[in-house]
Structures are given as structure tokens and as C-alpha cells.
Amino acid sequence: MASLSAQTLFTAEEYITQERKALYKSEYLNGQIFAMSGASRAHSLITSNISNRLYNQLLESDCEVHSSDMRVQASPTAYFYPDVLVVCDEPRFADDVFDTLLNPIVIVEVLSPSTAAYDRGEKFEQYQQRTSLQDYLLVSQHRFCVEHYRRQGEQWAHTEFRAPEDVLPLTSIGCKISLHDIYRRVTIAE
């Protein structure tokens, strides 16, 4: 009979303490800590394109755009680093270190083959616990496809955008972004 190895679980406090000292970023879910891997060129370009486009549109507003270095506490047992996020009005943080955001309005995750199911499933379920969240975007890095989940009361409306000329409206922050801009300089296989 094979023996099961014991899995070490961490409290959220232990994770935060460890994460603040770490050289590399990790995410946390239900007691487990997951190291984050590097990003592909396409992933990096898409993240930069979205971040830059939103930043330029929100320059004169009370909103901030953050890339993958701002941690979000999605729930008491989940901490993630979204690829791009937007927070408006007064950002709220978990404590006085100001590195764990509590009130994102828009979250963007760029999908990779290893994370797509997780980003659509468990991670999205955790993010939905943040009542401030109004828009959740899942962006493919291999084809023109952006999945937009928009909060409508207690429900989430789902729309897909698949053509380079499609324009994605983010009414919660008063922005629009075209797939052409999202995929600028990214090679998409036909």
C-alpha cells in the first residue's frame, strides 16, 4: 500500500509574512502556497498593452492601474497577483503595509495552458467574493479571444470578443479597449 505524504498547510498570516520576505512571488489558496512562473513574450506584451491602454484612458480620473506586482486578497483564504487590475476612488488595503488590495474594480488574467481552467474556475470563484469587482477579463495569448464577465447584481454576464476590430466596453471605469490594441505586436497563428 502506498503511503501519502503529509501536506504542509499555512495560515494566511504565515503566507503574508513569508511573501513579504520572499525573492519570488507566490499565490495562496486554502492553506497552500503556489510559486508563480515566468511569463511568455505574448503574455508580457498583452499585459503591457492592456495596462498601458487603460492607464492612458484613466490618466485624469481617480483610478489606478496596477500590473502583476499588486497582490489582491480575494477572500480570507485566497491571495492572488492579477496580471492587470484597476482600483478607483480610495484604494483599501489589508493593513498599513499597503501591498494587499481589497477593492479592485477590474481584474485581468492572461491565460496560459497551465492556468486557464484555474483562472476560469477556482480563481474566479474567489475573486467574486470581492463585491467591488465589476469586470473580470480572461485573455487568450494564442488567439484573438477575450472573455468578459460583468457583474449584474448577483449574476455575471458573459461575453466573448474574437475579432481584432471588436471593442470591449468596461463601463464600470468608463473605458473601451479594442482587441487590436490588446494584441498589438503579438503573433497570432491563423
Instruction: Specify if 159 maps to a domain.
Output: yes
Instruction: Specify if 48 maps to a domain.
Output: yes
Q: Could you report the per-residue pLDDT of 21-59, keeping only the tens digit for each?
A: 999 999 999 999 999 988 899 999 999 999 999 999 999
Instruction: Specify if 108 maps to a domain.
Output: yes
In total, how many domains does the chain have? Answer: 1
Instruction: Specify if 11 maps to a domain.
Output: no
How far from 1 is each of 4, 6, 190, CA to CA, in Å? 10, 16, 50
Rounded to 5 degrees, what are φ and ψ at 118? -65, -45
Instruction: Specify if 98 maps to a domain.
Output: yes
Q: What is the mean pLDDT of the chain?
A: 95
Q: Which domain holds residue 67?
A: 39-182
Instruction: Specify if 16 maps to a domain.
Output: no
**Amino acid 7: pLDDT:** 78
CATH of the domain at 52: 3.90.1570.10
pLDDT at 2 over 60: no
